[in-house]
Structure 1
């Protein structure tokens, strides 16, 4: 009880500091009560309320009618949809939070080299206090698959009693576009000023290189990324909805939007070659892109076992969360 009262009296930043103290070096053991309370506190304090409304989902083009994403047909034609108000995490779920969740549910040990998870060679499921490490606790999580990303949001729901989930594709794009505005990038200015970090040649990458620009769109195949909140937020107060890591949504993938309902749409599983794929947004988080694929309109389908996608959760409630 004392722990809960302490965390309730803290700012979000202070709670993260407590989380860092107790989660600096992760182990396969279950996290402490303090660590879990800090994760839950952060998940509630870092929510941004998004007032609902109508908008055209998909590539609407700029004021002159020029498409933002001309080389893809998967986001055309736009569809008029309405989303109810919701709250969304202002940052991607961090690596430290994700590891604490996996430890709490007893699955951190499932994603090891010994258990056949080969991706652990590049990114083992541990968290640490080293800013130069891909496992630094404040860098965005890269989930080993879709299910664990969804499971973390459901875990938050179970622990807090709030209706956390992965965002629908419509919620994600509505928030990234500052409530549906016709913008290209979810940055502070609506334009991209590239950080020099992770640019080629990759052998010269220095994890301690100072932050520059307003977005990370890298040109090398790296598991590296910037800590969440490294760049200025969008006008809505959201970070890294362009760049850093790509993000899962809860929609099943279909080409285009004709299948969606007009109110609070969430795509159901298709009976096609895409039947095992979920929608991933923010393709700028995958790396170097051309032809508009780094814009907030770009989308693709990834298999459920696809690793290295990031994510953030929403709370499906029509009023702000205190």
Structure 2
């Protein structure tokens, strides 16, 4: 599973004759109904400054379309991950991990974390920093989790395939839950300071592109049996 960069999305959209996935701005304000034009000064800025950042999405369908396009291109079953798949990977195959970092903790610069198992605060060096308080400067900025997956605790909310229901897991299948069959909102995982078990509903259509809304694609073959929480 990998998080999609701005450049990855731009290649897909350009190949398919779609506009750039970014709003046109007038200073700090979005110009409603307009997007950045290819070849413009704003476009060149995106290519040089944001090409390796997580791609922005204005709705769930954009994320879904990219993963399915990638599947058609590679002849591999790519799709958005289910919520259960996302959490299974974030928690290192279902372990009780607080965050999807290399050690299960968020280690901010000039900080420390509390280990509830020992009851002590843990100090660390700048070389051991594994998270930031804002979105990543680039994909892969922080160390991967034990499975080698990057960016699952990077303050960027990610779309999953599932419709949202607050009580779904009270009655869901024990293995490989796929989410409710219908709904009005989709489940997003990760986000600002969110633990591996944190989940939020999000409307499927936003009013503009947000840098904190992105996604990752995952292969849907040879999936292990994934149990709900």
Q: Same fold by TM (over 0.5)?
A: yes
- Give the Cα–Cα distance (whole angstroms) in 1 for the partners of residues 199 and 51 of structure 2: 28
Aligned partner of 2:188 among 265, 280, 283: 280
- C-alpha distance in 2, partners of 1:269/1:127? 41
After TM superposition, the score normalised by the length of structure 1 is 0.54
Alignment of 1:157-168 (within 5 A): 157-168=71-82
Q: Within 1, Cα distance between the matches of 2:44 and 2:66?
A: 16
Which structure 2 residues correspond to residues 283-302 of structure 1 after superposition, within 5 A? 283-284=191-192, 289=193, 294-302=194-202
The one of the two structures with greater contact order (alpha-carbon pairs below 8 A, sep at least 6) is 2
Give the counterpart of 1:318 among 218, 222, 225. 222
Flag the structure with higher strand content.
2
CA contact (8 A) 2:61 2:204 kept: yes
Of 176-185 and 231-240, the range deviating more from structure 2 = 231-240
Deviation of 1:116 (Å): 3.8
Moved over 6 A (4+): 124-127
1:266 aligns with 2:182: no
Residue 225 of structure 1 deviates from its aligned partner by: 3.4
Distance 1:151 1:305 in 2: 14
Gap regions ≥5 residues in structure 1: 1-87, 197-209, 219-223
Distance of 1:312 and 1:113 partners within structure 2: 25
CA–CA distance in structure 1, aligned partners of residues 187 and 109 of structure 2: 26
Question: SS at the partner of 2:92?
Answer: coil
Cα displacement (A) at 1:111: 5.8
Partners of 2:186 and 2:44 in 1: how far apart?
A: 26
- SS state of the match for residue 279, structure 1? strand
Indicate the RMSD between aligned Cα atoms, in angstroms: 2.7
Task: Decide whether aligned partners of structure 1 residues 263 and 212 sit closer, same or farther in structure 2, where only a CA change above 3 A counts.
Answer: closer
1:238–1:109: structure 2 CA closer, same or farther, 3 Å change rule? closer
Q: Unpaired segments of 5 or more residues in structure 2?
A: 26-30, 37-41, 111-125, 224-229
The size of the alignment, in residue pairs, is: 193
| Match for residue 96 of structure 2 among 182, 205, 212 | 182
